[in-house]
């Protein structure tokens, strides 16, 4: 679906060219009964695609930016970032219940430690059940796993035309999004100037600044592991607000910070928010909770 979105834009611009989509099932796609932590974190959605890119089997790769490691190998670069889809999380539940209507002991499914952390902080009397799988599989688990609801990314639901299934769009004040959520990135070989020039038109100025700040925040925080980290930037005119958060998996401890400044100072904003979190105990929290990751 993500590749089709990019292919459609390329086809519309270059009507004399044919763009072929080559589906690649990654380790992360295949091993859906095992947690991401156990199989290597979010990078498992990228490695095999990058192998195909490096070998010349494909000329560009389309990723969900929240799955792309902060540090890319020297051979690659993210050369285009189209306009961001809805960055929020959504709830799909029985009887269209909203979070604030959930009964004590309600069971909510998610495979995200970031969502788990914030849900338990907001609703300490619920049970968060770990789930994985594609969107359809996760929605079906409401019945198969006897869940009261599941939390998913709004962007994926919108792209699958399943908006009618949504019980609630969850405000960022309750669930701060993951860095890169709702953003697609087109990765290329760094030495492929032809493809770079071809896809430059896809870049969306606001989204490019937002994702740059969010990934700078992750980089300064040391967010390479699969840990509960949220990072979300919003651009208004020439200014940007960046909010960041880390916490314990049980939701009992959350450290959140924010900074505002000129969009061109995106790297400084990322560094500022990360340093503030680390200085308030974030470093000790990450070392204690996730030191072995």
Residues labelled catalytic: 67
CA distance 178 to 114: 7
Q: If DSSP states are collapsed to H, E and C, what string results for 160-226?
A: CCCHHHCCEEECCCCCCCCCCCCCEEEEEECCCHHHHHHHHHHCCHHHHHHHHHHHHHHHHHCCCCC
| Tokens encoding 129 | 């059940």
| Tokens encoding 55 | 């070998």
Closest C-alpha to 186, from 82, 69, 83, 48: 82
Q: By the 8 A CB rule, do 285 and 255 touch?
A: yes
Q: By the 8 A CB rule, do 189 and 148 touch?
A: no
């Amino acid at each position: 679906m993500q590749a089709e979105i990019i292919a459609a834009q390329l086809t519309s611009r270059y009507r004399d060219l044919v763009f072929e989509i080559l589906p690649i099932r990654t380790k992360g796609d295949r091993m859906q009964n095992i947690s991401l932590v156990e199989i290597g974190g979010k990078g498992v959605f990228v490695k095999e695609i990058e192998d195909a890119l490096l070998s010349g089997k494909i000329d560009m790769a389309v990723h969900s930016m929240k799955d792309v490691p902060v540090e890319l190998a020297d051979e690659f670069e993210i050369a285009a970032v189209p306009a961001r889809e809805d960055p929020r999380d959504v709830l799909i539940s029985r009887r269209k219940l909203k979070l604030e209507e959930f009964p004590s002991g309600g069971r909510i499914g998610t495979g995200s430690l970031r969502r788990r952390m914030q849900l338990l902080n907001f609703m300490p009397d619920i049970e968060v059940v770990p789930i994985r799988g594609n969107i359809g599989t996760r929605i079906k688990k409401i019945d198969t796993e006897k869940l009261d609801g599941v939390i998913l990314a709004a962007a994926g639901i919108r792209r699958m035309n399943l908006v009618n299934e949504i019980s609630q769009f969850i405000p960022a004040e309750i669930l701060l999004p993951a860095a890169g959520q709702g953003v697609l990135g087109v990765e290329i070989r760094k030495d492929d100037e032809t493809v770079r020039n071809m896809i430059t038109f896809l870049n969306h100025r606001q989204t490019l600044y937002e994702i740059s700040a969010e990934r700078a925040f992750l980089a300064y925080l040391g967010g390479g592991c699969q840990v509960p980290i949220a990072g979300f930037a919003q651009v208004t005119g020439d200014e940007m607000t960046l909010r960041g958060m880390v916490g314990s998996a049980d939701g009992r401890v959350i450290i959140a910070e924010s900074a505002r400044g000129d969009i061109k100072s995106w790297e400084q904003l990322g560094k500022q928010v990360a340093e503030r979190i680390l200085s308030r105990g974030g470093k000790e929290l990450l070392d204690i909770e996730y030191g072995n990751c």
